[in-house]
Homo-oligomer: A and B are copies of this chain.
Amino acid sequence: MTEIELYINSYFGIVDANDLKIIGSLFKLTTIKKNDFLLKNGKCCDKLSFVQSGLLRMFIATDKKEVTQWISTKGYFSTDLASFVFDTPSRLSIQALVDSEVYSISKEDYKRIGVLVTKWHELEKLFIVRCFIMLEERIFSHLSMTADERYKLFFDNNKELFNQVPLQYIASMLGMTPETFSRIRKKQVL
């Protein structure tokens, strides 16, 4: 199995080898240099990507600051879903934090999957349900935890990220300032 077939298989649970081949063949591997953009806000997002290697930062620029919504690591998908699905201008920008490789599918090819693979919509639905549940979890963390607790929770589950990306982005993604983030880290060490 190719790498992309493995992803599709693990995320969408497709068992049929033939379907897997079809879908996999529609994704194209491309590289993005550090600091380059996979998507700039304002443009319509015309592709869906999976991170094969590297790191992508998804952020929204406000008048005051940039808000990092998520950092996609190997295996995560990366797109402005609203823009991709409903053809609206994207609010998200997506930028590579290091040289990265992504498997991307164009909107046209994406639409073709549904035609070619009967079970696709059902499997994709389950995939999005899982994403939905992750977001619910994240909202819960903001409703019920302090910055300190959110830090610990995220750190425990994503240790490897902390020496790969500027910490200010993780801080933003967890809803705190870099200063607060730094002070929390200091406490953890002692």
Q: Which residue from chain B places its CB closest to the CB of A58 in the assembled complex?
A: B136
Chain B residues, Cβ within 8 Å of A60: 140, 144
Alpha-carbon distance A122/B111, docked complex (angstroms): 11
- With both chains docked as a complex, state the minimum distance between the C-beta of A138 and any C-beta of chain B, in angstroms: 6
Residues in chain B near residue A140, CB distance under 8 A: 60, 67, 69
Give the number of residues in A that approach B within 8 Å (Cβ atoms).
Answer: 31
Smallest CB-CB separation from A133: which chain B residue? B82
State in angstroms the CA–CA spacing of A81 and B129 once bound together: 8
Let me know if A132 is at the binding interface, CB within 8 A: yes
Q: CA–CA, A123 to B124, complex, Å?
A: 11
**8 Å CB contact of A81 from B65, B124, B132:** B132
A142 touches B142 (CB 8 A): yes
CB-CB under 8 A for A85 and B175, given A67-B140, A121-B121, A122-B121 = no
- Cβ contact of A129, chosen from B69, B85, B139, B143, cutoff 8 A: B85
Interface residues of A in 93-140 (CB under 8 A from B): 114, 121-122, 124-126, 128-129, 131-133, 135-136, 138-140
A-B contact pairs, 26 of them (CB 8 A): A60-B140, A62-B144, A65-B144, A67-B143, A69-B136, A69-B140, A69-B143, A81-B129, A81-B132, A81-B136, A82-B133, A85-B126, A114-B122, A121-B121, A121-B122, A121-B125, A124-B125, A125-B125, A128-B128, A128-B132, A131-B132, A132-B132, A138-B139, A139-B142, A142-B175, A143-B175
